Structure 1
Amino acid sequence: MAGSMSEQAVVEAFEEHRGRLVAVAYRMLGSRADAEDAVQEAWLRLARQGPAAIDNLAGWLTTVVGRVCIDMLRSRKAKPEASYDDQRLPELVVTDDEDAPEDTALLAESVGLALLVVLDTLRPAERLALVLHDMFAVPFEEVGQIIGKSADASKMLTSRARRKVQGSRAPNQDRRRQRAVVDAFIAAAREGDFEGLLRVLDPDVRWSVHTPQGVTVKLGATELAAQAQRGKDAKVTARRVLVNGEPGIVAWGPTGKPLAVMACTVVDDRIVEVISVVDRERLAAMDLPGRPS
């Protein structure tokens, strides 16, 4: 970016790239607050250096944000007191399915909770290489410059990360079909229809329940269907929402307090994975859509 720029012009140039930078950082860090912190650090470094000597502002900012994210991920893993963070969920972005705010929709687009959980198992450099190349089409040459490796090494790193991620089943891209499956699940649970629940659950569905005490994992449609069926007698109310950009469910008890947020992964018109959060303190801190009347 040759030549001098006014302070206002620098701000405008930065803001032009902010949305993309936050999206990159969110996929790296799984937290909106941490993503904003990483992007703010890039702004501070830009303000200190000045843009006059920067030929490619977009590339420079992506490099800074990427390296800040790697440092933040390594710092997380290095802190003994952060042992819970190793199994923590990425931040849940829960929005109304009908009118998600534009900025939240941008943040959540094509990055469902199940994928974020898988990304969290990658090493920091693997995660950054995969995010930049596969999700944001950054060439391997630029990826290599950001992570301090050659283009060929970056390609191998991305390939290795891709193989790990591909172990998870990719959801349908047809949102209407996803919504229909989740709606059928809610309707069957409301009616206590066990067979109806089995029709929309994959026989090998994986159900992860995150509680204050830790995570429990259950496998198989029968167990999840039986749990959902009991919701009828407990007078549970549920509605479909978006959880990190993919269809999910919020459930409330008879007193109106939220009981659970569930992120659903739908493949071939069946729910293959459910990630549930039942931690009351965490639920209370979330900005959840209203309970249906």
Structure 2
Amino acid sequence: MIKVTAIETGKARMKTAQRAGREGRGPLGRKIDIFRDPEWVEPLPILAFLIEHPEGRFLVDTGDTWRNSVPGYLPGWNPFYRQVSIRVAPEEEIGPRLRDMGIDPARDIAAVVLTHFHHDHTGGLDHFPHTRIIGPRENHAVSTGLRGMMMGCLPQRWPVWLDPELVVPDGAPIGPFPGSYPLTRDGRIAMVPTPGHVRGHCAVVVRDDDVTYFLAGDATYSQDNLRADRTDGVTNDPATALATLRAIKAFAANQPTIILPAHDPDGPARLAGKVVFS
């Protein structure tokens, strides 16, 4: 028996042009659209997902941190951070959330799995100093240094002890995904490549007896966007992002699948009701 739980770690707001890029716009045009867009979407959840499996507890992504509110935490020289608004109270961070569930984040998690290294997925890493941290090698390569800082990552804020286990999803194909990286010996939890939002992005597939959970990270911001083939405004590769959306839908067409993006306000209700993609 496998259990998946959605854990909200505060709220994020973004421009409408970030949630869905304009069709026909390339990478630069999409960024310009975000800066010009006066409209903001409603506050969206910043979700992490706890997987309870016979081999242990696995956490997918760590949400964000209250330190976003501290002047100077976000680099003022990068205008990207003025196009998003992160609101996290200290007790909303992933560590307190897990402790509220009776779980010690420093000791009771078998592994933290990062779909990618953007700041709203790595902001809670400080709570896991003794835990195996797994992330996609290709994404990590574009998330460090000045390049990473320009692209929504905060490598200068990562814990000094962080030495992630960087993996490549080059194992057996899973459905339309050309490779995978198994996270459990039984293969029921695995990373699959879902590039597009950023290079090297991975999602996590969790296969239970009666249903499959697809923890999409930011491969799509919502199930509605997925259904409509709407890629986001962040992508530097709209064609690859669209191919990923279609691969996710093809996967879900072949087995009962609950789609769980990291910022979909409807995701936790779908999870609770076991509502599959159709």
TM-score above 0.5, yes or no: no
Structure number having the greater strand percentage:
2
- Which of the pair has more CA radius of gyration? 1
Structure number having the greater helix percentage:
1
- TM-score, with structure 2 as normaliser: 0.30
